[in-house]
Structures are given as structure tokens and as C-alpha cells.
Amino acid sequence: MTEPSAAQPNSGTIRVRLFGRTDVGRVREHNEDNFIVADLTHRSRSLREEDREQVVGPNGLLMAVCDGMGGAAAGEVASELAINILFEKLTEGDPPVDHDDLARRLVRAVEAAGLRIYSEAKLDRHHRGMGTTATAAALMDRWLFLAQVGDSRAYLLREGRLVQVTRDQSLVNQLIEAGQLTEEEAENFEHNNIILQALGTSDSVQVDLTFVELRKGDTVMLCSDGLSGMVRFDELREVLVGADDPVEACRELTERANQAGGHDNITCIVAKFDGEGLPAVASDEQPPRYTKYQLVDDSMPEPTVPGRRGSIKELNEPKIGAEVKQRLTDHGPSRSKVGQTLVGISSPLALAADESLDVGNAKAMDDEVVLPVESTSLWVLGAIVVIVFGGIVLAAYFFIIRT
């Protein structure tokens, strides 16, 4: 896969058929997910029937899915704020001058959304602890840039092959990449609802910036974990291959997630690309994959302090755990969420000392837990220490009772 140049975009018409849908699911009382599909050239964010087929203009296209958290209506507030700020930031000012400019604007829009949500949460006690994931995609000619925070996902379907082109910022994914957990074990992992960061849980985020060079006939899907956590990978592929109409694809995906239990809100965007502005797939072309994007000569002041993108990385290079050191957020994916936000807890050991804040009881609650730790590896080590120490104390207690 080649890298987009900083030159002006390529010419040629790109047509897209797209649709988005969100559903509360079968368990939640209200929907904390939000999404946006926007024509950045005309500053339009409509999904009316006449807007479901369009030509991508010179300013490009925006798609994003945000999965809110925080209890009551706070998660909905956070995800809506994120969506609105993404649209506002990507439509203000002059059009992007090149690919780097668009990619930089996308990252900074995500950063600005995170800072705004964090500020709003501090100002309003009813919104304290709110946050949201964000998976946002911005297209300029054939180059699709993806900005990722959290565990909502983006997939690319090309010639029948489905590839996840974002990386989950989650504890379970880090353990899989470290070789400490298999894919099969991950399905039943007790803490598979912990994500490593979210917009609004701190004043800065580290945005994972990746890119895909689109080809004629490609399908892109963005979704919250209410879909990806309930519908198996092979089923996702089956639906995207079989449904030519994005409206039908979104409907079928939502129904399958509900049939699997509908434990979380379900949101997806499906976009199908065509037109002479996209090259055909070459016979010797490598399949698409997760690929990081480097922003060069990035000397403009930062609104927050994100992790800078490195050079183009292969999938097995630096892991999210090496970059994300601020906090763990128990986001509660498709199956459960934890009911309160913990602040001022110095370590997992202190957390375990308070029975009312027992992580093991998290699944009985409704929202999220924030654990401020220095690194994920220390959290895992701390959890092991808690388990061992707790076992010793419990054994001693029963020994004393019996004697």
C-alpha cells in the first residue's frame, strides 16, 4: 500500500452509496450511541433518500460512530457532543489543501471533542464521568483517513475479504497482542469490557491515525461494539457481501445483533464506493490491512497533547499499551457496563480494598469505572496481586473460624 502524498488530490469522480442506523438494542433503556455521515463540501449531514447516493466533493466525506458512557443521559450527551464538534471542526475555515491537512484536521477535531467533553463533565456534576469512544473516517479522493479512540471499529470489505482497519484500544486486545490471551479465551475473558481510553475521561487523548487507499467496489463499515461484540466476524462479512444496498445491510446487521441478545446499543454505517476516481484492484496487490499514517512537518500548535503518529507501521509494531498510559475505562461493551466512575483511587489494590467498588462486581452495575494507573501492564500485575492476596486472606479467615 502506498502512502498519500501531500500534493493536491487526484481528479476523477468518486460515487458513494451509504446509510447509517442506530438502535437501542433489547436491554438498554436509552441509546447512548451517535453517528454522523456528512458531505464536507456542502456542509450537509443529511441521510435523506436523495443524499444516500452522492458524488464525493473536493472537501471530502466524513463518517463517524461514537459510543457514549456515563450513566443516565450523560453518555448520550458525550457522544452527541463528539459528533457535533467533529462536524464543526471539519467544516470550518478554508477547504483542506492536501491529504496531510485533512488528516491533521481530523485528529485535531477528535482531540477538541475530547477536551470539550472533559470540560463539560467538570462543569456539570450530572455529567461527571461521561465519555465516548470515537471512530471517525474522513475521505479525500481515494484516501480514507481513520482516527480512533476506544473500541468502536472500522472494517473494509474488498473482493469478498473483510479486514478490520482500526485497532481496538482495549485491555483484551492488548493481552491478545502480547500473547497472553488467545482469540478463543478472549470471548469469555472476565474484563473484556475495559477500554484503555475514551474522549472525556481526561483532558487529552492519544489518537490512533491510520489510512486506507480505496479501490473501486470497496465497502467500508463503521460500528459500535454493540454490533461487533454481538455478531461474529464471519456473519459481518456474510451480510456485507450479500447486501448490495447499504440500507438493507444496516437493517440486517442491526437485526442480527438484536437476535444475538441486543445487550448494548447498536450503531453502524455502511458505505459502498465506485467511480472512475478509484483504481481497480491490481492482480498483484497486497490485501488491505491496519496501517498507521505519519503526519510530517507537524509544527502547528496542539490543542491537547496527543501521541504523535509514527511512520507507517505494520500490524505487529508498537502496541497501544505502549502509548496509552493515562487510565483504563471500563466501558462495558455489548454485554455489561459498570455503574459508577471511580476518582482518586491510587491503584487497583486500593480499589479492591473497598468492597463497594469491587471490580469483580462490575457486571452488576450499569456504567463505567475509571482506573488511573501508570500502565496497563502494572494494572494486570496489580490484579494478579489482588487475587493472590485476597485468596490468602480468605483462607486465613476460614482457618480462624474453624479453629
Q: For residues 104 and 110, what is the distance between their CA atoms, to the nearest angstrom?
A: 10
Q: Which of 61-65, 174-178, 182-186, 342-346 has the highest mean pLDDT?
A: 61-65
**If pLDDT is split at 50, 70 and 90, which confidence band does 6 have?**
low
Identify the pLDDT of residue 240: 98
Say if residue 394 is exposed, middle or buried (CB neighbours under 10 Å; 0-12, 13-18, 19+): exposed
Q: How far is CA 185 from the centre of its chain?
A: 22
Task: Show Cβ contacts of residue 308 under 8 Å, excluding neighbours closer than 6 positions.
Answer: 295, 298
- Positive/negative CA dihedral, 294, 200, 77, 346: positive
pLDDT tens-digit map of 240-259: 999 999 999 999 999 999 99
CB burial of 329-359 (b: ≥16 within 10 Å; e: otherwise) equals: bbbbbbbbbbbbbbeebebbeebbeeeebeb
Q: Yes or no: say if 134 and 153 are a contact pair by the CB < 8 Å rule.
A: no
Q: Which of 115-129, 207-221, 288-302 has the highest mean pLDDT?
A: 207-221
Identify the pLDDT of residue 357: 29
Q: Yes or no: say if 180 and 172 are a contact pair by the CB < 8 Å rule.
A: no
Q: For residues 198 and 200, what is the distance between their CA atoms, to the nearest angstrom?
A: 6
Task: Show Cβ contacts of residue 211 under 8 Å, excluding neighbours closer than 6 positions.
Answer: 3, 4, 103, 143, 144, 145, 146, 291, 293
Identify the pLDDT of residue 230: 94
Identify the pLDDT of residue 402: 56
Residue 364 cell numbers, joined: 452488576
Beta bridge partners of 269: 20, 222
Q: Yes or no: say if 362 and 323 are a contact pair by the CB < 8 Å rule.
A: no
Q: Please compute the mean of the pLDDT values over residues 271-289 and round it to a whole number.
A: 95
Q: For residues 199 and 219, what is the distance between their CA atoms, to the nearest angstrom?
A: 27
Q: How far is CA 304 from the centre of its chain?
A: 19
Q: How far is CA 311 from the centre of its chain?
A: 21
Domain boundaries, the chain: 15-320, 328-402
pTM given for the model: 0.77
Q: Which of 154, 294, 302 is nearest to 219 (CA)?
A: 154
**The pLDDT of residue 299 is above 90:** no
CATH superfamily of 15-320: PPM-type phosphatase domain (3.60.40.10)
Q: For residues 96 and 90, what is the distance between their CA atoms, to the nearest angstrom?
A: 9
Residue 226 cell numbers, joined: 454493540
Q: Which of 143, 162, 164 is nearest to 152 (CA)?
A: 164
Q: Please compute the mean of the pLDDT values over residues 14-34 and round it to a whole number.
A: 96
**If pLDDT is split at 50, 70 and 90, which confidence band does 284 have?**
very high
pLDDT tens-digit map of 367-392: 444 343 334 455 454 555 455 456 66
pLDDT tens-digit map of 310-366: 333 333 333 333 333 333 333 443 333 332 222 232 333 232 333 332 333 333 334
Q: Yes or no: say if 312 and 290 are a contact pair by the CB < 8 Å rule.
A: no
DSSP state of 180: S
**The pLDDT of residue 308 is above 50:** no
**The pLDDT of residue 35 is above 90:** yes
Identify the pLDDT of residue 370: 38
The least confident of 9-13, 242-246, 248-252, 270-274 is 9-13
Identify the pLDDT of residue 390: 61
**If pLDDT is split at 50, 70 and 90, which confidence band does 398 have?**
low
